[in-house]
Structure 1
């Protein structure tokens, strides 16, 4: 069987996707724990590039800003956390094909899995309908984040780095102090320290995001 359910197809079309090759879309919605020949990994690789180019082009057209500012916004808008946020906003989770065990482990609400599947869907859209169509989907689904100004503020890690330098302190040091859960639903806890100032911790489904949360917590407490 290489088709998607009628419910999944209707949901995809409701959110701007155009389904042609159903086997491709089935793969985009399939987690590796299902043990099937085709899952979302290859499509996610492609969709990641489609998303990056789409957002970069959009920012270039819409923002009269220097390269550093454009890069700052791009990094936030294409991040795994943002992809997962978009996925939750359109109700992706129920349509992911995932094993009972991976689901019980929290996989259906994992930022990593939601973000990967979101990118895989963009990859499927690109292959089925071309880059222009994929860009239109990105513009539709990412518009709220773009219009809300996501990424305009400085990244917490950059803000902390500058704060430490401005206060004649050593650079912040990040350390993973805990990692729990299976690979597809991992949770990282990171501690950030600034010598002779203090420390703070943050937890998230990726090391990078946990570092961001820890830096934000530090700045809130000491900045």
Structure 2
């Protein structure tokens, strides 16, 4: 089977040429489009586990003295949906996605959850096509410096802010939605994070969770 031009280009960005191109086609096919080949949901399930195994092994090998408590937040930072979506944007995976009309019109090629799921599906496709070593090589290449600098991203900003407040006898921070803009299919949320002493910071992002995290990080940076 021949791949379309956009999938051939994606193959190059992945650094893996598929023996079974059908796997790549399925990996980029979203459930919003009718397809006899099926969509990428089952591949996503497998890819999440392959990514987890590779990252767990890599972190263990990279720091032989780290405790489980130190490794867990690093692991979570590398395998979370935001990280997968960032890698997907890096290789312009969105341009190759096969979406139904509704998803296309609602900006599906830019949606974080959709991109993260597709990245996991692509990992599974490489694993099924050529085995765990091929999947590992691709993951380590694409995640690249994220692995070396993971400590910078490993701490959840909301957790860190709450610990900062508790250490000073304050109640947990409050998060308030102060604005929502944009169309229904692509909203932008503005969240204010506030401490009991009146210190606050705002941030805007495509989801409430992202906006809360960004506001917490901004507030923490101001406290440092």
Give TM class, smaller chain.
Answer: 0.7 to 0.9
Q: Normalising to structure 2: TM-score of the pair?
A: 0.84
Aligned residue for 1:35? 34
**Per-residue deviation at 1:61?**
0.3
Question: Does the CA-based 8 Å contact 1:33-1:99 persist in structure 2?
Answer: yes
Label 1:140 to 1:206 Cα distance change in 2 as closer, same or farther (>3 A).
same
**Per-residue deviation at 1:206?**
4.2
**Per-residue deviation at 1:23?**
2.4
Aligned residue for 2:140? 139
Q: How many angstroms apart in 2 are the aligned matches of 1:178 and 1:134?
A: 42
Query: Structure 1 regions of 5+ residues with no counterpart?
Result: none
**Per-residue deviation at 1:199?**
3.8
Aligned-residue Cα RMSD (Å) equals 2.5
Aligned residue for 1:210? 211
Question: Does the CA-based 8 Å contact 1:74-1:151 persist in structure 2?
Answer: no
DSSP-derived class of the 1:30 partner: coil
DSSP-derived class of the 1:34 partner: coil
Aligned residue for 1:23? 22
Query: Structure 2 regions of 5+ residues with no counterpart?
Result: none
**Per-residue deviation at 1:80?**
1.6
DSSP-derived class of the 1:219 partner: helix
Label 1:129 to 1:78 Cα distance change in 2 as closer, same or farther (>3 A).
same
Question: Does the CA-based 8 Å contact 2:13-2:91 persist in structure 1?
Answer: no
Question: Does the CA-based 8 Å contact 1:165-1:171 persist in structure 2?
Answer: yes
DSSP-derived class of the 1:33 partner: coil
Q: Normalising to structure 1: TM-score of the pair?
A: 0.84
Alignment partner of 1:87 is 2:63: no
Q: How many angstroms apart in 1 are the aligned matches of 2:109 and 2:194?
A: 33
Q: Counterparts of 1:112-123 in structure 2 under 5 Å?
A: 112-123=113-124
